[in-house]
Amino acid sequence: MKFYYVEYVLADVLSEVEKRQISLRAAMAEYFAKRKELEPIKGLARAYALGLLRKYRLVDFIAEEVLGVKVEELNPWEKNLLRALIYELKFRNVKLDRVLKVSRKLSYMKLDLKALKAIKMTSTKSLLRRKGGLERLSIKYSQPEWVVRYLVSILGRREVERLLKKFNEKPTLWIRVNTLKTSKRKLLKILKRRGLKVSEDFDLPDVLRVDTSMSLSRIPEHELGFFYVQDKASVLAGHVLSPEPGEHVLDMCTAPGSKALHIATLTRNKSFILGLDWKPARLKTLLKGARRLGVYSIIIVAMDSRTFSPPKRFDKILLDPDCTSLGRLGHSPEIRFWIKENMIFKMRKLQYELLNRGIDLLKRGGTLVYSTCTLTKEENELLIKQVLEERSDVELEEAIPKIGLEGLEGLVETQRLYPHIHDTQGFFVAKIRKIK
């Protein structure tokens, strides 16, 4: 294998993430598919990238205060290489000689040993004292300042600092047991025999908590379809929907398919499930998952749910629309690169249209579960309240099983999950029944 510094891989991958606003996972898959010879350092590169993304604003602040460099003025590749080098000096204890050697690829500026030593010796705590209030919090925890300000407005500063700290820790790994092929007890025993630290969850009947640095996709039981990597909060949505065999179920925004696959499992492949998504490429993941898990009761169609006009209405509908994803700032820290406050209102418009269309597609007496992985009230409680006020054909039901906190704005029937409290993604779920 031709030698290639991992710092250059980071610069390559993160510049693509930032420019194209794609997930780290997608960028890395694309990058290493083209560079098979670099596969041995893929795990190292991913770990580095996640660590850097959880520190990037602090790293940028160090560059500005110690080197006098405005990182945002650099081209994407040099920006992310400089970030990688500063991250190594401050948080990875990499030797100065190596960092100096790697830094020679920087054309905008030249780093010397004096500059590197200054970075290494500077106290980040002292630097942060130069900033106050929410700006200091946003830099310390590397979150957009508007996100910190928004979260403080609904949760309070003390609670938000706990949440921000959790966002920068390794997230809890959950898996859903595929009960079409095995049982929770059997899978628990198998994974423990393989040396994994696995514990049972007592809130939901089909999830396990896994603590491992091993890639779960390499475990034989994964390929056999015995389990599916899915956050506990996401699994909750399927249980709140509570589908029954024989029912007609619509998943309005189905890709990548975790919730539709769960619905099929809950109904033992004995319900009719229609999955719609307007991005055809994203549906491939669902098809692959269905084959692996032994699911055959889902029909998928690439289309916008807002224009869908079926001959019959549905018993159950799941709506998990695109959102600002603030609940995933720990799982997918790259979101911090591009998330903007005005996206809340863009997403809310889409969600409002989808929710109203979903209600129209429900049978009388049918239920719709609305869920998001974001924490804004505009995309959650305020949206639900608006629809309830505007329509006389629906009412709010309690979302059970209840494992989260009561929703805000007086919507006690809904629930919210927070990473620092529930060890899940940040999540919201509401259940609506059609009464006319």
Beta bridge partners of 209: 174, 199
Do residues 380 and 254 touch, judged by C-beta distance below 8 A? no
Token pair for 349: 């418009």
Compute the distance between CA of residue 31 and CA of residue 18 in angstroms, rounded to an integer. 14
Instruction: Count the Cβ atoms, other than its own, within 10 Å of residue 53.
Output: 25
Residue 323 designated active-site: no
Q: Which of 23, 421, 54, 404 is nearest to 234 (CA)?
A: 404
Do residues 210 and 149 touch, judged by C-beta distance below 8 A? no
Q: Which of the residues 14, 373, 375, 394 is marked catalytic? A: 373
| Cβ partners under 8 Å of residue 322, min gap 6 | 253, 347, 350
Q: Taken in order 340, 346, 347, 348, is the CA torsion positive or negative?
A: positive
Q: Omega before 401 cis (within 30°)?
A: yes
Q: What is the DSSP string of 291-351?
A: HHHT---EEEEES-GGG---SS-EEEEEE------GGGTTT-GGGGGT--TTHHHHHHHHH
Helix (H) or strand (E) holding 417: strand 415-417
Token pair for 256: 């990548």
Compute the distance between CA of residue 172 and CA of residue 231 in angstroms, rounded to an integer. 8
The angle that helices 283-293 and 258-266 make with each other, rounded to 10 degrees, is 30
Token pair for 134: 């929410």
Do residues 249 and 316 touch, judged by C-beta distance below 8 A? yes
Active site residues: 373
